[in-house]
Structure 1
Amino acid sequence: MSSLPLSRSFFAAAVSAFVMLTGPSAQAQTTDLPDYVIAEFGTPPAIPIGALDADLQSAVNRLVRISLDQNSWDPSDTGDFTTLMASEDPRVVWILTDMLRFTWRPEFGAQLIDASTTLMGIDRLEIQHSSELIDYMMAWDMPPYPDYLDNKRAVFTNYIDGWEDIFVEGDIDWHLVQWGGVNIDARPFGRTDEPCNCIPAADDPEVSTAQEATWLSDDAIVFGITINGESRAYPRRIMEVREMVNDTLGGRDLGIPYCTLCGAMQAYFTDELPVGVERPVLRTSGLLIRSNKVMYDITSGSVFDTFLGHAVTGPLADIDLQLDQATVITTDWGTWKETHPDTTVLVESLALGRDFDFRNGRDANGPIFPVGDVDPRLPVQEDVIGVLTASGTPVAFQRSTAMVALQNGQTIAFENVHLELDAGGIRAVGDQGEDVGSHQAFWFAWSQFHPETELWAR
């Protein structure tokens, strides 16, 4: 068993203790980071504690207003940028990168990058895009300044309709949230056949029998789910287009997000909820956090941590709603239908005539959105099977290694979790063979959303 080289929770506690001992005006030097972070990103700058001073906050507010109407900006008016750079407060770079994401005037963007690199102590020539600045801040655990969300909300809601109710206080690190380049899907339940300028979810998708699915080749990748003896295959080609499905299988309601960026297809039960809670209907918000899609419920307006299934804003966060997971098997269509001959499968028309193959195209060279530092125990996009044990311990199994071991008849177990082959893929079960809700994901995603994860060693 392995653990992270240095616990981030220990680092956070150390900084908190420093603040309590030295007061709100102290400078906390964030050097207690893992060696691999320092090696890749260098030593972070000093980070002030407490609210921005009045002049600095005023300069930030004015720049936010300018970013909303860049035509009104005179390139010779650099006073606010001078104030920012003189402040030596790198926390404001979070809002500068937010503005950069929506900036269309090159001169304004250049000033934002110049100020950001100066505040962070980074060579300007090393930065070509705002995502590179965000990688540094993520790796350095750079906090935002107080009331940052007010500024961020102003920037984001100015450009995308429908985000007004998304950007609210909650149990979410809003400074880590980025725009994924698409609009929010706000279509009501049951109306996902209507076109939208968004990543289009599918509600109660049409399915066919395996025999009718002649369009699907045996080597096509599918995500298989079995609930109460009823099996269904969700072809990756379709899920790369839809990314979110609300379905009913085996008598249970499911919300099924697929994050193309982190290689994770997950299935959450959206029924058997506390009294008075309506079924969450999950949609794509158009936002990302650590390169994982941010989903929300159109019924309550609550935002969810997609990877963890936990409500983080809105009424469902108020009741601390946690969705349970069903296992998702990643395999090929030929093996899945042979193992589950009575399976149903989503129909080809749901792909809307598209065939992206993001994994082997767009994402072939690594994450295209900021992820910061990644636990170096495995390659960034190595496939793992992730699951939580009965004690709540997250554990990841390197898929390629586990597959060979299982095929050779070896036993793989960690606490109460046991791996077994299933329809050409891998499933995790409990001591009594019960489903424990495992799924496949890229290592960077699993390890960042479960930073204390154990890693099974053969």
Structure 2
Amino acid sequence: MRRTSSTRQKATGRLVVGVAVAGLLAAACGPVDADESGGGASSPITGDGEAGPVVVEVERTEPSPREDTRPGLTTFRDPLPELPEPMIDLSQLRSGGPPPDGIPSISNPVFHAASSVDYLAPTSPVLAVEINGDARAYPIDVMVWHEIVNDTVGGVPVAVQYCPLCNSATVVDRRVEGRVLEFGVSGLLYNSSLVMYDRQTRTLWSHFASRPLYGALGEAELVDYPSTIVGFEEWRDAYPDGLVLSRDTGADRPYGTNPYPGYDDVGADPFLFEGEVDGRYTAMTRMVGTTSGAAATAFPLLELRAAGAIETQLAGEPVVAFWVPGSASALDASEVSGGVDVGATGVFSPVVGDETLTFSAIDGVITDAETGSTWNIFGKAIDGELAGAHLDQVVHVDTFWFAWIAFHPDSSVASAAGD
């Protein structure tokens, strides 16, 4: 459950598909550590021989033993009657190129103290999450090559996930029905999005919907935690004592480079997506989506960027979306940090105490009309009468229109002019 086209375009689409395939195969073919789950432990060293960024020891939660169950991972082409009914038509699963674990997830992550990190540009996008006061940043220049990090944040075993093909980040609790799962990359795609599998039962899971697609855990559901993709400088200013996922992963990858350059072209075609695209927007239009129960709404990024803050109703409750500048598109240029500035987003309940606040933004500075307090992208008041107050963060996803509407076909669209 959740807590709260022209000839040129067609040619571009074909080019992008080729780029995506090449990127996936490059990710699959590089040498990796003998441990299929990745992860390293050595301390980075700078070029002059001095000690590099400071490694911080972190808590680890051991995964549950692997079980002797019939695996959804290897039987999805011929489903077994003894396994729960598949959640989808399994013929819609597509191979993305690499085999299972060809893109290696990370299960023994190494972290650096944020204050000691000197290898990320200010606008380098990082996947940010905070649980129980434990704030961590997972650079997209690492995530784009691994897609999943099995971690423990604030005492909670989580899977931190990034799907390059739909540009979506999610964080889920790995505890399911008395087990602590460990997730790997299956090599399969559903609606062009990452399909995970757990190593305990080898059930297939949707990264986007946090639900099993097929396997022994077919009736389970993952709990989501809020996260956002934000520029490194913005994140470190908010969390100077936070932790940053190191490039010391046990795998040999050209971290910092983008294996999918140009993929987020608004006129391109998504890789291996065969569904119908709602014609209100192009397939690759960026959206900020959120759900509550069966209700779903999306904020078009360009409109949110222009407004800075957009308010709407979701399942009868008010929500507000924020945008600030300072985060590069990970999928634009040949270097992850060199992409155009697409900014960062957050979605929140605008209620503080018993008052519903009204927000606006000028030049990336977000304020509320009621007190004039200033707020950051993490929903914290950083100046003014309400300084120190926090808005309740709502789980949201930054993604492309084709992916959002494929998983939420009845979604509304919120805009600055009203729904």
Question: Normalising by structure 1, what TM-score?
Answer: 0.57
Q: Quick one: distance in 2 between partners of 1:312 and 1:370?
A: 17
Alpha-carbon offset, residue 422 of structure 1: 7.6
Describe the SS at the equivalent of 1:266: strand
Matched with 2:100 is 184
* Candidates 241, 260, 267, aligned match of 1:342: 241
Alpha-carbon offset, residue 298 of structure 1: 1.0
Change in CA separation of 1:295 and 1:417 when aligned onto 2, cut-off 3 Å: farther
**Paired residues for 1:56-455 under 5 Å:** 163-167=73-77, 168=79, 170-185=86-101, 198-271=102-175, 273-274=176-177, 277-317=178-218, 320-350=219-249, 352-354=252-254, 355-362=256-263, 364=265, 365-389=268-292, 391-406=293-308, 411-414=311-314, 415-421=316-322, 425-430=344-349, 432=351, 433-455=391-413
CA deviations on 1:220-259 (whole Å, 9 max, x unpaired) are 1111111122111111110110011111111111112211
Task: Letter of the 1:456 partner, please give it.
Answer: A
Describe the SS at the equivalent of 2:303: helix
Q: Quick one: distance in 1 between partners of 2:407 and 2:155?
A: 30
Q: Quick one: distance in 2 between partners of 1:421 and 1:337?
A: 18
Change in CA separation of 1:226 and 1:339 when aligned onto 2, cut-off 3 Å: same
Greater RCO (Cα-Cα under 8 Å, separation 6 or more):
2
Task: Letter of the 1:441 partner, please give it.
Answer: T
CA deviations on 1:160-206 (whole Å, 9 max, x unpaired) are x9953454352221121111110102xxxxxxxxxxxx101001310
The answer (yes or no) to whether the contact 1:403–1:426 under 8 Å persists in 2 is no
Task: Letter of the 1:352 partner, please give it.
Answer: D
The answer (yes or no) to whether the contact 2:194–2:207 under 8 Å persists in 1 is yes
Q: Which moved more, 1:209-218 or 1:426-435?
A: 426-435
**Contiguous gaps of at least 5 residues in structure 2:** 6-13, 18-70, 81-85, 326-343, 352-390
Alpha-carbon offset, residue 329 of structure 1: 1.1
Describe the SS at the equivalent of 2:217: helix
Change in CA separation of 1:316 and 1:162 when aligned onto 2, cut-off 3 Å: closer
Q: Quick one: distance in 2 between partners of 1:343 and 1:352?
A: 26
% identity of equivalent residues: 25
CA deviations on 1:109-145 (whole Å, 9 max, x unpaired) are xxxxxxxxxxxxxxxxxxx9xx9xxxxxxxxxxxxxx
Alpha-carbon offset, residue 370 of structure 1: 2.5
Q: Please state which structure has a larger fraction of its residues in helix.
A: 1
Change in CA separation of 1:241 and 1:304 when aligned onto 2, cut-off 3 Å: same
CA deviations on 1:409-434 (whole Å, 9 max, x unpaired) are x6454432522448762222246543
Task: Letter of the 2:346 partner, please give it.
Answer: R
Matched with 1:69 is none
The answer (yes or no) to whether the contact 2:72–2:202 under 8 Å persists in 1 is no
**Contiguous gaps of at least 5 residues in structure 1:** 1-35, 37-127, 132-160, 186-197
Q: Quick one: distance in 1 between partners of 2:405 and 2:168?
A: 13
Change in CA separation of 1:423 and 1:222 when aligned onto 2, cut-off 3 Å: farther
Task: Letter of the 1:176 partner, please give it.
Answer: Q
Question: Normalising by structure 2, what TM-score?
Answer: 0.62
Describe the SS at the equivalent of 1:400: helix
User: How many equivalent residue pairs?
Assistant: 281
Change in CA separation of 1:219 and 1:352 when aligned onto 2, cut-off 3 Å: farther
Task: Letter of the 1:181 partner, please give it.
Answer: G
Alpha-carbon offset, residue 376 of structure 1: 1.4
Change in CA separation of 1:419 and 1:337 when aligned onto 2, cut-off 3 Å: same
Describe the SS at the equivalent of 1:441: strand
Task: Letter of the 1:405 partner, please give it.
Answer: A
Change in CA separation of 1:417 and 1:246 when aligned onto 2, cut-off 3 Å: farther
The answer (yes or no) to whether the contact 2:73–2:215 under 8 Å persists in 1 is no
Q: Quick one: distance in 2 between partners of 1:291 and 1:429?
A: 28
CA deviations on 1:290-348 (whole Å, 9 max, x unpaired) are 2112111111121112210111322211xx21112111211111111112212211112
The answer (yes or no) to whether the contact 1:210–1:344 under 8 Å persists in 2 is yes
The answer (yes or no) to whether the contact 1:327–1:427 under 8 Å persists in 2 is no
Task: Letter of the 2:258 partner, please give it.
Answer: D
Change in CA separation of 1:358 and 1:451 when aligned onto 2, cut-off 3 Å: farther
Change in CA separation of 1:454 and 1:412 when aligned onto 2, cut-off 3 Å: closer
